[in-house]
Amino acid sequence: MGGSPGGSTERIRSGGLRRFVIAAAAAALVASGCGSLSVQAQAVPANPLANEVAVVGADVPLSAPVAPPWQVAWVTPSVQLTGLAVFNANSVWVAGSDGVVYAWDGTGWHVRRVDDDIIRMAAVSPTAAWVASDDGIRHWNGSKWTLTSHDGTVLALAAADGRHAWAATAAGIRAWDGSGWPLAYPDDGTRFTGIAALDATHAWAVGTAPDGSGVVVAWDGSRWTLQATMPEPLSAVYASDAMNAWAVSPEGSIYAWDGTAWSLAVDLHLALNGVAGTDGSHVWVTAESGQVLFHDGATWHVQYQAPTTVSAVVAADPTDVWAIGFDTVYTTVASAADSASSASSGTSSAPGF
């Protein structure tokens, strides 16, 4: 499967559009027992940003949040978390830099050692997953991990289903063909750091061009083509359907795709690193400064403030949302946190995983 740069370039500029500023200081919400081996839950304190949201030059205010639903689901034994996949409230995977994939089954966390530092993960089901490390990309088929690529330069990894997955590497964008990763979009100098894989004919990749501008390329089922450039770098992308996609910038801007064009939706002046959702009225973004922000289709809310960076977020449905920080798993699923606190004092291996 091949591809080449092409298509028209749409230049998006931010001048004249609304710019929103969050004037809020990150609060120190130190989780009790942080670093413990035990699986633990923590009640979310009153949101420290609830009364500290300011708006500059905007016609529509950035709404302060109501009581946030987030809880700490698990604090790892000082393991840096590098990947997150959510199938449902009772099936969640997180990847660690210690070479372990941790799986939540509704009662406890179980481990599957991959024996290499994991830097990226993509999974569509408990029997179809990929992890990337400095050694290459491994595929999980439900019973074993198999090394399928020796390219150890993966910066982003995403999958639409068991047959359609993509990896952004130093050589360009590679496509999973069922056994290996041939090049689908050759390196053009862009450093791609985010991929959203919707289905076999719709996917997006975002990143930063050599001149510092943002780049969006799109997959149409046969090739990747340049779809848009932005005046600032892009870090992550998410799509709920072919008509709704979102891309975020480490400089704070959020761009929206409406099926025809990309436009600036809002500038939060935060270093944004993750985006996920379920539809246009349920979108979450994460920030280096620990905020989880929520978009309800009309306004943006600061929904939660973590004590450290929140690096990724995934939503299975509007009430089943998970995020990871350096060594902590957060969730909106109260039962998951409650069950975790009483289920186990550690992790264990599980049959079939």
pLDDT in tens, 204-213: 999 999 999 9
SS3 call for 252: coil
Q: Are 1 and 184 in contact (CB under 8 A)?
A: yes
Q: Sign of torsion, CA 289 272 39 76?
A: negative
Is 241 or 52 the better-scoring residue by pLDDT?
Answer: 241
Summarize the confidence of residues 251-276 as an average pLDDT.
Answer: 96
- The whole-angstrom separation of Cα 148 and Cα 27 is 43
Give bridge partners of residue 97 from the DSSP assignment.
none
* β-sheet bridge partners, residue 270: none
Q: What does the angle CA 317 – CA 322 – CA 324 come to, to the nearest 5 degrees?
A: 155
For residues 231 and 64, what is the distance between their CA atoms, to the nearest angstrom? Answer: 29
Distance of alpha carbon 23 from alpha carbon 61, whole angstroms: 13
Q: How far apart are CA 269 and CA 249, in angstroms?
A: 10
> What confidence tens digit (pLDDT) does each residue in 218-255 have?
999 999 999 999 999 999 999 999 999 999 999 999 99
DSSP string spanning 303-340?
Answer: EEE-SS-EEEEEEEETTEEEEEESSEEEES-HHHHHHH
Tens digit of each residue's pLDDT (9 = 90 or more) over 119-159: 999 999 999 999 999 999 999 999 999 999 999 999 999 99
Q: Can you give the residue ranges of every domain in the chain?
A: 71-325+335-347
Q: What is the pLDDT of residue 63?
A: 53
What's the rounded mean pLDDT across residues 294-303? Answer: 91
Ranked by mean pLDDT, the top range of 15-19, 31-35, 114-118 is 114-118
55 vs 314: which has the higher pLDDT: 314
Residue with structure tokens 């998006």? Answer: 12
Point out the least confidently predicted range of 48-52, 174-178, 203-207: 48-52
Residue 20 confidence (pLDDT): 31
Compute the C-alpha angle 123/124/130, nearest 5°: 30
pLDDT at 349: 54
pLDDT for position 347: 57
Query: Which stretch of 22-36, 67-81, 95-109, 229-243 has the lowest confidence by average pLDDT?
Result: 22-36
Calculate mean pLDDT across residues 256-271: 95
Judge whether residue 283 has pLDDT over 60: yes
Side chain identity at 272, as an amino acid letter?
A: L
Better-predicted residue by pLDDT, 36 or 64: 64
Higher pLDDT, 314 or 20: 314
Which residues, in sequence order, are CB contacts of 177 under 8 Å at separation 6+? Answer: 1
**pLDDT score of 39 more than 70:** no
286 versus 53: the higher-pLDDT residue is 286
Going by CATH, does the domain composed of 71-325+335-347 fall within 3.30.360.10? no
Per DSSP, the chain holds a count of helices (H) and strands (E) of: 1, 29
| 3-class state of residue 211 by DSSP | coil
257, 245 contact by CB (below 8 A): yes
Structure token digits, residue 117: 């530092």
- Residue 65: per-residue pLDDT: 52
pLDDT of residue 86: 95
pLDDT per position as a tens digit, 96-123: 999 999 999 998 898 888 878 899 999 9
The per-residue pLDDT of the chain, averaged, comes to 81
Assessment of whether the complete model's pTM goes beyond 0.75: yes
7-11, 42-46, 92-96, 342-346 — most confident range: 92-96
- Any alpha helices (H) in the chain, and if so which ranges? 334-343
Task: Give pLDDT, residue 59.
Answer: 32
Rg (C-alpha) for the chain, rounded Å, is 19
| Structure token pair of residue 187 | 């390196």
Place 35 in a pLDDT band, splitting at 50, 70 and 90: very low
| pLDDT recorded at residue 292 | 95
Can you tell me whether residue 343 is helix, strand or coil? helix
Residue 133's SS3 state is strand
Q: Is residue 21's pLDDT more than 70?
A: no
Residues in the chain: 353
Strand partners, 285: 275, 293
Dig out the tokens for 226 from the structure: 């340049």
- In whole angstroms, give the CA distance from residue 218 to residue 195: 10
**In the structure, what pLDDT confidence band is assigned to residue 77 with cuts at 50, 70 and 90?**
confident
